[in-house]
Copies of this chain bind each other. A is one copy, B any other.
Amino acid sequence: MNRNDITEKIITAKVAKGITWESVAKKVGLSKEWVTAGCLGQMTFDGKQAKIIGRIFGLTAEEQKWLQVVPYKGSLPTPVPTDPLIYRWYEIVSVYGTTIKELIHEEFGDGIMSAIDFSMDIVRQPDPKGDRVNVVLSGKFLPYKQY
């Protein structure tokens, strides 16, 4: 048994029962972004959360334990993703990567935007010309230190 087995079981239950990620997140009491990432095998739940998740998706006690083990992260099967929705994000990094780098350094100096002390919020923004996906990424700036 491994974490992938749990992820597959969760997704299979989700499809069979028609569960939404948003409803799962509400029951867990955290954002839909973090909870979904956890269910997809990218984050680590604590015991109480694992129990809630387990009840929703019908996981055994042992399977709930796996939700509490830190997983080997990375959710994509190839270095360059083939799925069009995910590729567009890869393309943003490819086209705007050096721009993001320049502007963060211009504002903050040498360092990075953390992908760990990080949160993400995905919302629908109504627009008469076609609704938009708005995503707010928030990461702590971590300066390179001299030593």
Contact = CB atoms under 8 A, between A and B. Distances in A.
Q: How many copies does the complex hold?
A: 10
B115 A91 contact: yes
A106 B62 CA distance: 19
Contact of A112 (B88, B96, B137, B140): B88
Interface in A75-119: 75-119
Given A117-B130, A125-B138, A133-B138, 13 more contacts: A42-B95, A43-B110, A72-B83, A75-B97, A82-B91, A83-B101, A85-B104, A104-B133, A116-B144, A130-B142, A134-B137, A134-B138, A135-B137
Interface of A: 1-2, 8, 11-12, 15-16, 18, 20-22, 30-34, 36-37, 40, 42-44, 62, 65-66, 69-70, 72-120, 122, 124-125, 127, 129-147
